[in-house]
Amino acid sequence: MKVAIVGGGYAGIATAIELHKLKSGTTVTLFDGRDRHQKITQWHKLARGEEPAKYEIEFRELADRFNFRFVHKTINVAALLKNPIAELGGNFDAVVVAQGSHSPVQPAGVVTLDALRDDVNEKNRVKNLRNRHVSVIGGGPTGVQFAFEFAARGNKVDLYEARDRLLPTFDHSLGQTALKAAAAHGIEVKLLTEFLRFENGTVSGKSGDHHVTGEADYVLFVPGVRSTPAFTCDVYGRVEGLVAPRFAAGTRSSAQQTEGYPTQQKFYAAGDNSYFSGRGLNTKSAQAAVRKGQHVARTLVADAKGLPPKDYTYPELGYFVSLGPKNAVGYLLSQKTAFSGPAALFMKEAIEKQYNLYLAGLNVYP
């Protein structure tokens, strides 16, 4: 069976690793527009002054380790859905779309997470940012983690969030803990404040009917990520509702029209760009992306063997957010168990080390 994986983030890599682990004889080709897999959940440490190379690994190294072929190419998903053979440059028995999320449209003058991933100059700039006035737009996990790292290096930090609390997708207790820690670190949090623009060193926003302004030397724009296109999958990871592409009338015989093209049963999705039916974890997190990637790999092998696949039922085990180099906040099993301090920091670092071991080839995600 020939499998194409589109995207080499957490879900795409997990799919490739699991197919290798299952020893199914599958031939895997992974496509990505970058030449390195990036541990993006650790990317805030660039603002700590650390080198990006510490949180990247070349796809070719992973390809050698886990026996897949890497193609350095950005796949256009819209074109892929219309003509998979042409977009992928070959015929595959199954396609896994695992492109994940991307930054929203970038306003003028600000820096997005995608820019920090791809622009060497921006990486160096954020790595060396000290004693400046920094504005972070977005009070989710990424924004909070960057804000605390900036503050720890002597920067004056303003943190803008359009909703009424930090970490708004989590239980209120996590946001309150982050808010108190922010005050202790001199971070000025501006809740219920919508970012409008950044011009000539001035951040403009709107809070209710009031126009607000603030000064900044540097603006990091991380209000959240987008998943476009996004796919609804069944409980096995198969994309639902897709129709095999058709050629123009008269160009090929009806028997040939869908030859080599993924049908609904041969198109799969994993990661942030997928929503799995059932009760399994569907958050936009590395945890969910890895587990979905693993699950899709198992479904692929079951489908190839004509066996019934298992439902996706993976539960959330916990989540942790860094609050600078010496603190974190998070929970285990239930958001009502939120805690912070050394224990939370230990869990955050342990989760990061677990993923590093996974990429090294250890079976740490059974």
Encode pLDDT of 297-352 as tens digits: 999 999 999 999 999 999 989 999 999 999 999 999 899 889 999 999 999 999 99
Closest CA to 118 of 199, 52, 204: 52
Specify the fold of 111-224: FAD/NAD(P)-binding domain (3.50.50)
Q: What is the CATH number of domain 2-102+226-316?
A: 3.50.50.60
pLDDT for residue 243? 55
pLDDT for residue 51? 93
Rounded Cα gap, residues 123 and 111, in angstroms: 10
Rounded Cα gap, residues 223 and 34, in angstroms: 23
Q: Where exactly are the structural domains of the chain?
A: 2-102+226-316, 111-224
Q: For each successive 10 residues of the chain (366 residues), what is the average pLDDT?
A: 96 98 93 96 95 95 98 94 93 92 82 92 95 97 98 97 95 95 97 96 95 96 81 94 50 40 68 92 93 97 94 94 97 92 96 96 92
The neighbour count for residue 124, using CB atoms within 10 Å, is: 13
For CA atoms 297, 298, 300, 301, the dihedral sign is: positive
Against a cut of 0.75, is the pTM above it? Answer: yes
- Crossing angle of helices 59-66/10-21, nearest 10°? 20
Closest CA to 18 of 276, 270, 318: 270
For the chain, the farthest-separated pair of C-alpha atoms sits apart, in whole angstroms, at 71
pLDDT for residue 263? 44
pLDDT for residue 87? 95
For CA atoms 205, 207, 211, 214, the dihedral sign is: negative
Tens digits of per-residue pLDDT, 219-239? 999 997 777 778 999 999 999
H or E stretch covering 289: helix 286-305
pLDDT for residue 261? 44
The neighbour count for residue 251, using CB atoms within 10 Å, is: 9
Are 2-102+226-316 and 111-224 in the same CATH fold?
yes
